[in-house]
């Protein structure tokens, strides 16, 4: 059974009185343990799709199921619970709370989910150690590099052992070295069974996935399987062929 499934997904925004069609009938299935990259140019609808999967927004038409939950039919409060317990989200802009320490930022989703503070702290320490941030627990986000901030955001997204990890251009604000470090971490978590859906416009980033879905004008237009760690040049060639 797919862990993520969408049916005839549409999203229409209003801009200066005109309708803007961000998604036009998107059907997506993601199996448990898959690492899928959704790729396309700016404005093609890929971030809108990710926000609908996370319940950060609702579709104009269609259905979204995540781990069996009908996200499209849930109230805002139920969607918030789903994000805390089932979906981890990594933003391009990190979205850390500046006046909280690294430890407090990572702990927050766990505490909001009602977990015991001692259990949350134990998991947080394990994640920060693994991500090379064990010595940064009392540091504030503004004192960290961009790569460090994104690793904190990754720890925060994983603190509740989410069924699905969603990443929106997670290397977009990082230099090449820091971006590669984050992508290698995502690959490691995927190899341990984590389901990941990542959106990007960059072939190199998409090459870390095992399946790449290409979008244009709010629709899926092609896809490519990557049985082994991918080749960015193959993905770029495919993207150019459908441009």
Domain boundaries defined on the chain: 1-77+162-243, 95-161
What's the CATH code, domain 1-77+162-243?
A: 3.40.50.300
Mean pLDDT of the region 131-145: 95
* pTM > 0.95: yes or no: no
- Whether pLDDT at 63 is above 80: yes
Which pLDDT score, from 0 to 100, does residue 243 have? Answer: 59
Cβ distance 36 to 198 under 8 Å?
yes
pLDDT tens digits, residue range 83-105?
A: 988 999 999 889 999 999 999 99
pLDDT tens digits, residue range 185-234?
A: 999 999 999 999 999 999 999 999 999 999 999 999 999 888 776 778 88
Lowest mean pLDDT among 59-68, 103-112, 168-177: 168-177
Which pLDDT score, from 0 to 100, does residue 238 have? Answer: 77
- Whether pLDDT at 148 is above 90: yes
pLDDT tens digits, residue range 220-234?
A: 999 988 877 677 888
* Mean pLDDT score of the chain: 93
């Amino acid at each position: 059974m797919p862990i993520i499934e969408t049916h005839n997904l549409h999203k229409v925004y209003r801009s200066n009185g005109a309708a803007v069609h961000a998604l036009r009938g998107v059907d997506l299935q993601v199996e448990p343990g898959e690492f899928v990259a959704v790729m396309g140019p700016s404005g093609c609808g890929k971030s809108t799709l990710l926000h609908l999967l996370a319940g950060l927004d609702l579709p104009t038409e269609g259905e979204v199921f995540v781990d069996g939950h009908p996200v499209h039919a849930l109230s805002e409060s139920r969607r918030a619970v789903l994000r805390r317990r089932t979906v981890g989200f990594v933003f391009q802009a990190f979205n850390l709370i500046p006046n909280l320490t690294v430890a407090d930022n990572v702990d927050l989703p766990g505490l909001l989910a009602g977990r015991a503070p001692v259990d949350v702290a134990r998991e947080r320490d394990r994640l920060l150690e693994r991500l090379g941030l064990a010595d940064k627990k009392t540091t504030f986000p503004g004192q960290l590099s961009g790569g460090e901030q994104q690793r904190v955001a990754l720890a925060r997204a994983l603190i509740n052992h989410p069924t699905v990890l969603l990443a929106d251009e997670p290397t977009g604000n990082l230099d090449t070295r820091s971006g590669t470090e984050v992508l290698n971490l995502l690959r490691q978590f995927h190899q341990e069974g984590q389901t990941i859906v990542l959106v990007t416009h960059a072939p190199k980033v998409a090459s870390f996935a095992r399946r790449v879905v290409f979008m244009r004008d709010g629709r899926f237009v092609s896809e490519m399987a990557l049985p082994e760690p991918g080749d960015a040049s193959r993905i770029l060639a495919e993207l150019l062929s459908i441009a």
